[in-house]
Structure 1
Amino acid sequence: MISRAFDEVGRGDLEALIANSVSERRDLEFKRDLPGETSDAIKEFLADVTSLANAQGGDLIFGIEEKGGVATALVGLTVASQDETLQRLENTLRDSIDPKLIGVKMEWIPLDEPIGAIIIRVPASLAAPHRVRYKKSGLFFGRNSRGKYEMDAQELRVAFTQSEQLPEKIRQLHADAVEAAGGRDMPFALNAEPAAVVSIIPLALFREARDLAITRENVQMPVDVSRGVDWLDTLEGVLMHTAVNEEGRVCSYALTHRDGRVDVAWTIGGALEIRGHEHQLVWPKRFEEGLLDAAGSAVARLRQHGLQGPWVVLVTVIGVLGYQLMISNDSSSKPAWRDRASMGALVVDQVDKATLQPLLKAFWLLFGQRRP
């Protein structure tokens, strides 16, 4: 897969594949020509796409000539109608894959008029394994470094089991991150104040073992490092954190795991004296800006290591029982009536304020308020 957000892929990225003699791999395949309309050609196209979805996802690029699996020339495609060509491919995928494949993106990339190339980005799928359902074909395809292959009975049993277990595995990773914020298996704990814990996990995490070459220079930073930051190598990865106080606590940390995921935790409230009275308050700006910064920068960091979405973003708020949401200088919400609450889990291709809106809205509802 090209290590760039799909909407940003352009001609220069395709030319770089040729210049660098990039080889096909488990998440990248080149095709000189578009699939034809014969049964064999359509089955081949469907096999290519489902094999990517059943593995870790990847890019299928039409208009690149390869020799021995190595990209050698950007020959491009000439079509009568770009829109009709893309529509034909989309219809084929929609009508001939079971279960339906969600989240596939395809784009025409202009080259020298009138030619262009087509890139199809196939996400790793929560509903895998997918089978080709076309003219009595019902085959399942997997993928390895040599390309696609037909899955056997044992591989199918494993794939179906993993698909069923995937949501629970992801939830457990986040649950472990929440416990870590309290100090479990950690060299410190967060300050004893309301806090947020976010986990950013690529959907394909469990489909390929990874051991990222991470250092303190290329990992996630904590939220709000204005007071300085320290770091520690751990069994799991690299732990960046703010200063440890006399009680052995910090106000923020970020753990970049070598298997390709990130956990970030930071405090979002505390006691504040207003007109001679102490109030226990949570600051929405600290939560929202912290979440946007943590999730967005984590995805950027992981992409630098070659990982791509879809991304699972999970958020839990802890320690908020009895705290009020500070809405303005003159008003606050009623106290929260639970100490710990999950804001939910999102599966997104892009991480930004728009895609994270459900988490932001859930945070306000925790205090009985609708987000303005």
Structure 2
Amino acid sequence: MRNALYCCDNPIDGATNMSLLDIFLDKVTEADLNNLISTCVPESPTIDYKRDTYGNSEGDKREFLADVSSFANTIGGDIVIGIDEAGGLPTAVKPLTGDIDAEVRRLESIALSGIEPRLTNLRIRSVPVAGGHAIIVRVPRSFVPPHRVIAQNSNRFYARAGTKKYEPNVEQLRHLFTDAPHVLERIRSFQADRLVKITVGETPTPLGPLGKVVLHVIPLPSFADGRMADIVSQLAKGGHVPCPLDEVGFSSNYAVNLDGYLSYSVGPPGARLAYAQFFRNGAIEGVGELRSDDNVNSCFITRDLTNLIMSRVRLYLDVLRAYDLGLPVYIFLSLCNATRVVYRYADASGVGCHDSRPLSREIVSVPEIYIDDFNVDVIDVMRPAFTTLWNAVGFLSCNRYDDLARWKSSNPYALTW
């Protein structure tokens, strides 16, 4: 049997479809790199091998930026630095030595300053191998293309076809500029369809007919390339689980269904119910029943609603990151069965309370929130959604923010304060 450090004479069947992209970047090991060699995985639109790291001359930097932007402008991929190749086939691991952390930071700095618009989800990681390290530059497909190389005033665009990068012509650039909005429309269509189904009672677990709050957290990459996340098997291994949109805090049950994985609250008879559906396409849908005093009208209260939404947005983003489902992510806040939903607020004395006018429409959906970093300040990014919802009931802004748009609670993700 051939040594793993030497490539076989011909790629095995299916090798051209293999890559590192199916492995979470933080989980890639030396064994995975050797597997590329032993199974003769050739260079392709999603993988490129480099024996040596990029130099520090201006030409070397431009070459690195061209490689990175070509992946971002096409379908994404990995640049594996520290693997020798011959004719596009990997032949041996050639470990990099020296200060590997400094080299990772150098490459990150070059990419940060040399590509426009900036690639916010580019990741570069070193992998320990015998004798040193390899470096993987993971370039996700961009959904705000095209990106251009601006180092040394080059102002050039690149894309990738097969194993080579090229400069797209005018027609190809036009396609790059117009493709991303089509993906967003698919996401909006999915979310709108889900709101209709929730409103008419087509939910994965039965809910009542009164008002409901709905939160969708949707990764754009899965809607662009049609990927289906293997969430069921991953959850079976003890992975992250999106909790129901339940402000009461009941215990939860879990189930597998046609759409993916479901968690739903279990409370006493008559209690408000909630669920979280983790779809196979990576979208997370959280739904919870609003409070009702008479089983006819529903209401929401500032503290309860905002604390619940903040905590679940943070949780759902962490779930998407754990499954490496990619960026950007769109967040949608909505109300269903909202015709008789009101906002309940305290009067000036702080003793009594008042109800706003009813929303008077079955579905209320505020404009989506765009997220391009899993470490965002959720308080800040969700403020426009809360402002719009409060506008809908006749208020200028959500009263959890002060006049300087600062959050009024020291613990925004807690369910109580």
Q: TM-score, normalised by structure 1?
A: 0.69
Instruction: Indicate if the aligned counterparts of 2:282 and 2:325 stay in contact, CA closer than 8 A.
Output: no
**Residue number in structure 1 paired with 2:30:** 15
Deviation at 1:348, TM superposition (A): 3.6
Give the letter for the 2:227 counterpart: R
- Segments of 5+ residues of structure 2 without an aligned counterpart are 1-19, 267-271, 391-397, 402-406, 410-417
1:116 match? 133
Contact 1:34 1:62 in 2 (8 A): yes
1:64 and 2:83 aligned: yes
Rg (Cα) greater in structure: 2
- Letter of the 1:324 partner, please give it: R
Q: Using the alignment, how far apart are the partners of 2:356 and 2:31 within structure 1?
A: 53
Q: SS of the residue aligned with 2:28?
A: helix
Give the one of 174, 180, 187 matched to 1:163. Answer: 180
Q: Are 2:288 and 1:271 aligned?
A: no
Q: In 2 relative to 1, CA 287–93 (structure 1 residues): closer, same or farther, beyond 3 Å?
A: closer
Instruction: Tell me how far 1:333 sits from its aligned partner.
Output: 7.8
Give me the whole-angstrom Cα distance separating, in 2, the residues matched to 1:310 and 1:151: 24
After TM superposition, give the deviation of residue 120 of structure 1 in Å.
Answer: 2.8
Q: Counterpart in 1 of 2:5?
A: none
Q: Is the contact made by 1:228 and 1:243 (CA closer than 8 Å) also made in structure 2?
A: yes
Name the counterpart of 2:159.
142
Q: Does 1:191 align with 2:208?
A: yes
Whether the 8 Å CA contact 2:201–2:209 is kept in 1: the answer is: no
5+ unaligned residues in a row in structure 1: which ranges? none
Query: SS of 2:292's equivalent?
Result: strand
Whole-Å separation in 2 of the counterparts to 1:294 and 1:213 = 17
For 2:225, the equivalent position in structure 1 comes to 208
Distance 2:120 2:105 in 1: 16
Higher strand share: 1
Residue 137 of structure 1 deviates from its aligned partner by 5.4
Question: 1:229 and 1:207, CA in 2 relative to 1: closer, same or farther beyond 3 A?
Answer: closer
The question of 1:49 aligning with 2:68 is answered yes
Distance across 2 between alignment mates of 1:96 and 1:196: 43
Match for residue 49 of structure 2? Answer: 30
Amino acid at match of 2:287: W
Once residues 352 and 221 of structure 2 are traced to their aligned partners in structure 1, the CA distance between those partners, rounded to angstroms, is 41
2:344 aligned residue (324, 328, 338): 324
SS at match of 2:342: coil
Q: Deviations over 1:327-366 (max 9, x none)?
A: xxx9898646674353741324436xx6433356567664
Q: Given that residues 343 and 359 in structure 1 are in contact (C-alpha distance below 8 angstroms), is that contact kept between their aligned partners in structure 2?
A: no
Which residue in 2 is equivalent to 1:369? Answer: 400
Aligned partner of 1:342 among 321, 343, 366: 366
Counterpart check, 1:256 vs 2:274: no
Counterpart residue identity of residue 29, structure 1 = D
Match of 1:125 among 142, 146, 149: 142
Instruction: State whether residues 30 and 65 of structure 1, in contact with CA within 8 Å, keep that contact through their aligned partners in structure 2.
Output: yes
Is 1:97–2:106 an aligned residue pair?
no
In structure 2, C-alpha distance between the alignment counterparts of 1:166 and 1:82, rounded to whole Å: 36
Show CA shifts across 1:224-280 (max 9, x none): 6946455543xxx44747599xxxx974251514xx33141321531259xxxx994
Match of 2:269 in 1: none
Query: Alpha carbons of 1:363 and 1:238: their partners in 2 closer, same or farther (altered >3 Å)?
Result: same
Task: Give the 3-state SS of the residue equivalent to 1:197 in structure 2.
Answer: strand
Matched, 1:356 2:356: no
For structure 1, which segment, 285-294 or 155-164, has the greater mean C-alpha deviation from structure 2 after superposition?
A: 285-294
Q: Distance in 2 between matches of 1:135 and 1:363?
A: 41
Conservation of the 8 A alpha-carbon contact between 2:222 and 2:228? no
Identity across matched positions, percent: 23
Secondary structure of the 1:270 match is coil
Q: Does structure 2 retain, via aligned residues, the 8 Å contact 1:333–1:369?
A: no
Instruction: Give the whole-Å Cα distance in 1 for the aligned partners of 2:77 and 2:353.
Output: 46
Deviation at 1:118, TM superposition (A): 3.2
Distance, in Å, in 1 between the alignment partners of 2:353 and 2:68 is 50
Q: Deviations over 1:28-79 (max 9, x none)?
A: 4332211234565444322210012113434333223345656554422234
Is the Cα–Cα contact under 8 Å of residues 329 and 372 in structure 2 kept in the other structure? yes
Count of residue correspondences: 346
Shift of 1:15: 0.6
Q: Distance in 2 between matches of 1:147 and 1:364?
A: 47
SS at match of 1:314: strand
1:222/1:53 CA distance change after superposition, 3 Å? same
Distance in structure 2 (CA, Å) of the matches to 1:210 and 1:150: 27
- In structure 1, how many angstroms separate the alpha carbons of the residues matched to 2:34 and 2:86? 14
- Counterpart of 2:413? none
Assess if the C-alpha contact under 8 Å between 2:79 and 2:136 holds in 1.
Answer: yes
Tell whether the 8 Å contact from 2:144 to 2:180 is kept in structure 1 after alignment. yes
CA contact (8 A) 2:332 2:368 kept: yes
Q: Which amino acid aligns with 2:79?
A: L
